Amino acid sequence: MEIKIHAKSFSTGGLSSEQPVLENIDLQLRPGEFVVLFGPSGCGKTTLLNIIAGLDAFYEGDVRLPSAEGRVDPVTGYVFQTPRLLPWRTVRENIQLVLDGDENDLEMADALIEDMRLAEFANSYPNRLSVGMRRRVALARAFIVAPDLLLMDEPFISLDDPTARRLRMLLLDVWKRRRTTVLFVTHDLREAVMLADRIVFLSTRPATVIADIAVDIPRDERHDDSRIEDFRSMLIMKNGFLFADP
């Protein structure tokens, strides 16, 4: 999986015509790898994800996503910063919506709903659910399409710590069973360490890759907060420059 972006800019509408956002970004993702994009707020991480998702065609570069056998186009699953569930559709309908809708698909949807402990809310409308629950549904919707690449844009932001932690564990759990390549954006280092096989550090605007660090904590020790914390301190000690947030 190859993502190369030479340049991306926004016109600000003001006097200075073009504002560069991304510059020389080169990402290689191995199949089944969990990669976290870590960078300061507002550095252009969301822009990068939108380009990869095909939502933004105005950039210079090349995005090549492989697709699973039997697929013409690669399928991406996207978990946005806000859940973006359709409020006028029930949880089950929201999840089924992104499928093609044959018999088999619907059974699959119900299996996943069961899997993610959403069964009891399957017929509820999203705005009757807690914020954490909505994010869980958004997660389910992204997994159900069996994506070739799963994009996640700070999906657990603005949740209380225990809820966010529970959702991270759930994500790892589902990801283990429905393995796919993940590109996860965050500016929370603890979250990055807990989830990632590899953390790619982005600079401030215009964003470019400034470091690429593997996280070697075994998967079955990720629930251990002290391991996460140790790794995090070591990272900050050795690579303090990465966190010099101007």
Partner 1 sequence: MRSSLGIQIGSFLALLALWHLAAVLAKSSLLPNPVMVIEVIGEAIASGELPYHLAITLMRVLASFILAMVIGTAIGIAMGWSRSFNRLFDPWLVFFLNIPALVLIILIYVWFGLIEIAAVSAVALNKIPNVAVTLREGTRALDKDYQEMARSFRLGFAKTMVHVILPQLYPYLAATARSGLALIWKIVLVVELLGRGNGMGFQLHLFFQLFDITNILAYSLSFIIVMQAIELVLFQPAERRISRWRR
Distance, CA of 243 to CA of 15 (rounded, Å): 32
Return the structure tokens found at 42: 């507002």
Element (H, E) at 202: strand 198-202
Nearest residue (CB) to partner 1, 40 versus 77: 77
Q: Using CB under 8 A, which of 25, 48, 137, 145 touches partner 1?
A: 145
Among 58, 180, 121, 141, smallest CA distance to 155 is for 141
Task: Using the rule CB under 8 A, give the single segment among 81-89, 103-111, 201-209, 213-221 that binds partner 1.
Answer: 81-89
Q: Using CB under 8 A, which of 68, 87, 224, 225 touches partner 1?
A: 87
In the block, residue with structure tokens 């096989």: 197
Q: What share of the chain is helix, strand, coil (3-state, %, to 5)?
A: 40, 25, 40
Among 63, 25, 49, smallest CA distance to 205 is for 25
Indicate whether 53 belongs to the interface with partner 1 (CB under 8 A): yes
β-pairing verdict for 198-202 and 34-38: parallel
Q: Which residues contact 208 (CB under 8 A, 6 or more apart)?
A: 22, 23, 24, 25, 202
Q: Using CB under 8 A, which of 39, 40, 44, 77 touches partner 1?
A: 77
Q: Using CB under 8 A, which of 141, 168, 187, 222 touches partner 1?
A: 141
Indicate whether 128 belongs to the interface with partner 1 (CB under 8 A): yes
Interface with partner 1 in residues 6-35 (CB under 8 A): none
Indicate whether 66 belongs to the interface with partner 1 (CB under 8 A): no
Q: Using CB under 8 A, which of 30, 88, 179, 234 touches partner 1?
A: 88
Positions that interact with partner 1 (CB under 8 A)? 50, 53-55, 73, 75-78, 80, 82, 84, 86-89, 97-98, 125, 127-128, 141, 145, 151
